[in-house]
Amino acid sequence: MFDKVTKSIRVISAAAVEKANSGHPGMPMGMAEVGTVLFKNVLKVSNKQPDWINRDRFVLSAGHGSMLLYSLLHFNNFDISIDDIKQFRQLDSKTAGHPEVDTSLGIDITTGPLGQGFATGVGLALAESYLSEVLGKDIIDHYVYGIVSDGDLMEGISFEAAELAGVWKLGKLIYIFDDNNISIDGNVDKVSITDQKKKFESFGWQVLEVDGHNEIEIKNAIDLSKKETNKPSLIIAKSTIGKFAPNKQNTSSIHGAPLGNEEMELFFDEIGWEGDPFDHSDDIYNYFAEKRLEDDKSFEKWKSNLDNKLKNDGSFKKLWEQFEKNELSFPKSFEIQEAATRVTGGNYMKLIGLENKFVLGGSADLAASTKQIISEESYTSENKRGQNIEFGIREHSMAAVVNGISLHSNLFSFGSTFLVFSDYMRPSIRLASLMNLNSAYIFTHDSIYLGEDGPTHQPVEHLMSLRLIPGLDVIRPSNSVEIIHAYKYLFSNTKNPKALSLTRQNLKFLDYDVDYSDFINGGFIISKGEDLTIFASGSEVNLALEIKETLKEFSVQVVSVPILNKLTPAVSESLNNNKFTFTLELGKATGWLDYIGDITESFSVQIFGKSAPEKDLAEFFKVNAESIGEKIRTYLG
C-alpha cells in the first residue's frame, strides 16, 4: 500500500504542475516516500484542530516543492480539495506556487526564498523549548520537522541558523535533507564541495544517512532522531529528483518546469498509471485516516488535561490566561531622562521584561550598544526559560529566528542591531510581513550621528527603504512620551511586523504629551504655527524645535511623525494648513512627498556619511539649526 500511496502523490503532483503549465514537479516526485512516512507515521497534526498549539510543525523549506505538501494535506483530509489541487498556482488559490501560511489548511509557514524556512524553523523549535519550560511539558511537547534542499544549505542564512540550533541543543528539531544533487542550473557538485555530514556534525547536530526512497530506513532514522534529545538532527536522504520520469529524472530540466505531454505519458507508463491523474481511490485517503484519528484523540486528551489544569492549578491558570490574551502589560510609571532613545528604550524594555514572560529576544552581539535587554536571564542550552537571546553576529538568521518565535503562537519576539545592518535582515522582514507576524526589529545608531565609525555604519537610505516593505511599520520616536508609545505599539498584536529606530546620540527630553491613538495614526502637532510647517521624525524633532527658536520672527508649526508610513492623506492634510512645508530627517528624502504632499524643501542627507564627530557632521551636511533656519528664511523673505 505504501508504494500505491507514493505513486498517487507523484501522479497528482506532476499533473497539477502540468495543468498549471508552471511549477517544480521534480521535488515532490523525488520526496514522495519521505512525505508519506512523515504524514503516516510521524507528524502529530489534526485535520479537525489544525491550529492546535501542541501539534508538530512541518517546514517545507524547499518551498518550490509545494505540491508535495498540498497533495499530502489533500489525502489527509485537510481543507484542500481536488479542485484546489487543480487550481495550483492560479489567482487566489489555496495552492499557491510556494506555501503561504494558513494553519486552517495545515500550512505552518510561508516559504520560498531558500534558507528562510530552515532558519525560521529554528525559531519554531526555540519557541517550543521555551514554552515547554514555562507552561509545562504536558502542555507544550512537540517536534519541528522539515524538508530542506541543496539550495537551502548553500544559503548563508542556514549556516548561521544551524550553528545556533547546535549551540542551543534543540533536540526537537529534525530536518530531512533532500540530497538529489540537482539545482536549476545543473549538478550541485559543480558549485559545492561541502561535506554536509561533517559540516552539521561540527555544528553539534546528529547526522544520519538514508536511502530517500526506502520506507524502513526513513522511519528508523526519524526514530533515532527523536531519541537524541540534546542535538538537532539532519537526516541526509539520498534521492532521485523526478523519480520515474524516464528522460528527465536526475536532471535539472525537471526542477522548475512541467514534464510536458510526451514525458508525462512516459512517466505514467513507467509508474503504471491509467486514468484521470486527479482521481484517486478511497484507500489512498484511508491510508492516512488512522493516524489522523490517533492525533484527534491526542488533541482531546491534551484538551482534557489543559481544562483540568486550568481548574485545579491557580498559578498556571493565571499564566495561561496571560498567554492566551496575547497582550503585554506595560509599566504604569516611567521617568524619561535626557539620553539617547536607545538608552531610554532599553530602560523601558527592562521594565517590560519584569512584567511579561511571553516576550523574548536579544541582539546580534550588540546588547552593550543597542541596550535592548529584556531580562538578565539568558536562553541557553542549560536554561531554556531565559528570555534574553544571544544570537551572536548573525543578523540574517536572527531575523528569521525572531519570525519563527512569533509564528509559533502567542509569543512576542524581537531582534536588535544597528540600523545599517537591516540590509542583512531584509528578506526575513519581508516574509514577516507576508505572514502577518508581530515580529519586532529594533534598530539603533539610526543616523549619521553615530559619528566616527563612518559611512559604512551610518544609515542613509535605510529608513525609507524599510518603509517600502508593504505592511511593515517603521517607528521613529523622539525622546518624550513617544518612546513609551513606541514600545506599546511595537509589542502589540496588530498582526504586522514593526521596526523601531533609535538613536546613539543623546537627546533632550521633550516635555509634551500625545494620546496613543494620535501616535499610531502616524503624526501629530506638537507646536502650532501659521507661517510654515516642519515635519520631523525621531531625533530630528529636537532639531525642529531648535529651528523654531532660531526663527522667532515667524510662526513655526512643528509636526512629529513617528510612524511616517501610517500617515493617511486625510491625517497629513489635517496637520498642515500652511503655505510652506519642510521635512526634516537625516536620511534620504525620497518618499516623503508620497506621505506629506507638496513639500517646499526636504532637509536630509542624500549621500553617504563621513567619519567625523557629530558637530562636524552637522556643519558639513548643513543640518544644524542655524543652516536650516537660514535656508528657510530665503523662502519666507
CATH number of the domain where residue 606 is located: 3.40.50.920
Same domain (yes/no): 101, 215: yes
Same domain (yes/no): 449, 533: no
CA pair distance 353, 373, nearest whole angstrom = 8
Q: What mean pLDDT do residues 485-514 have?
A: 97
CA pair distance 224, 207, nearest whole angstrom = 10
Cell of 443: 534598530
Same domain (yes/no): 301, 273: no
User: Residue 527 in 3-state DSSP?
Assistant: strand
CA pair distance 264, 75, nearest whole angstrom = 22
User: Residue 412 in 3-state DSSP?
Assistant: strand
pLDDT tens sequence across 324-333 = 999 999 999 9
Same domain (yes/no): 311, 381: no
Q: Which residues form the domain of 631?
A: 517-636
Domain end marker among 501, 525, 542: 501
Determine the angle formed by the axes of helices 2-20 and 282-312, rounding to 10 degrees.
100
Cell of 113: 526564498
Query: Do 536 and 585 meet the contact criterion of CB atoms below 8 Å apart?
Result: yes
Same domain (yes/no): 301, 290: no
Is there a catalytic annotation at residue 395?
yes
Q: What mean pLDDT do residues 430-450 have?
A: 98
In a domain, 539, yes or no: yes
Q: Which conformational region is residue 545 in: left (phi greater than 0), alpha (psi within -120 to 50 degrees), or beta?
A: alpha
Q: What mean pLDDT do residues 187-202 have?
A: 97
| Among 128, 395, 482, 540, the one annotated catalytic | 395
CA pair distance 82, 410, nearest whole angstrom = 33
pTM, rounded to two decimals? 0.98
In a domain, 446, yes or no: yes
Residue 474 clears pLDDT 90, i.e. is over it: yes
Q: What mean pLDDT do residues 275-291 have?
A: 97
Mean pLDDT rounded to a whole number for the chain: 97
The number of folded domains in the chain is: 4
Q: What mean pLDDT do residues 388-394 have?
A: 98
CA atoms within 13 A on the CB side of 22: 10
Q: What mean pLDDT do residues 565-591 have?
A: 95
Query: Do 228 and 44 meet the contact criterion of CB atoms below 8 Å apart?
Result: no
Torsion angles phi and psi, residue 408, rounded to 5 = -60, -50
What HEC string does 223-289 produce?
A: HHHHHCCCCCEEEEEECCCCCCCCCCCCCHHHCCCCCCHHHHHHHHHHHCCCCCCCCCCHHHHHHHH
Q: What mean pLDDT do residues 273-297 have?
A: 97
Q: What is the pLDDT of residue 176?
A: 98
Same domain (yes/no): 172, 24: yes
In a domain, 511, yes or no: no
Domain end marker among 467, 501, 535: 501
What share of residues in the chain are helix, strand, coil (percent, to 5)? 45, 15, 40
In a domain, 510, yes or no: no
Domain end marker among 501, 536, 552: 501
Same domain (yes/no): 283, 318: no
Q: What mean pLDDT do residues 83-112 have?
A: 98
In a domain, 627, yes or no: yes
Q: What is the pLDDT of residue 4?
A: 98
Same domain (yes/no): 318, 407: no
In a domain, 330, yes or no: no
CA pair distance 6, 37, nearest whole angstrom = 10
Q: What is the pLDDT of residue 451?
A: 92
Q: Which residues face 583 on adjacent strands?
A: 535, 602
CA pair distance 588, 591, nearest whole angstrom = 8
Same domain (yes/no): 237, 300: no
- CATH number of the domain residue 456 falls in: 3.40.50.970
pLDDT tens sequence across 398-417 = 999 999 999 999 999 999 99
Q: What is the pLDDT of residue 16?
A: 98
Residue 499 clears pLDDT 90, i.e. is over it: yes
Query: Do 108 and 143 meet the contact criterion of CB atoms below 8 Å apart?
Result: no
Q: What is the pLDDT of residue 637?
A: 78
In a domain, 481, yes or no: yes
Same domain (yes/no): 126, 212: yes
In a domain, 391, yes or no: yes
Same domain (yes/no): 493, 522: no
CA pair distance 307, 303, nearest whole angstrom = 6
Cell of 629: 533656519
Same domain (yes/no): 521, 402: no
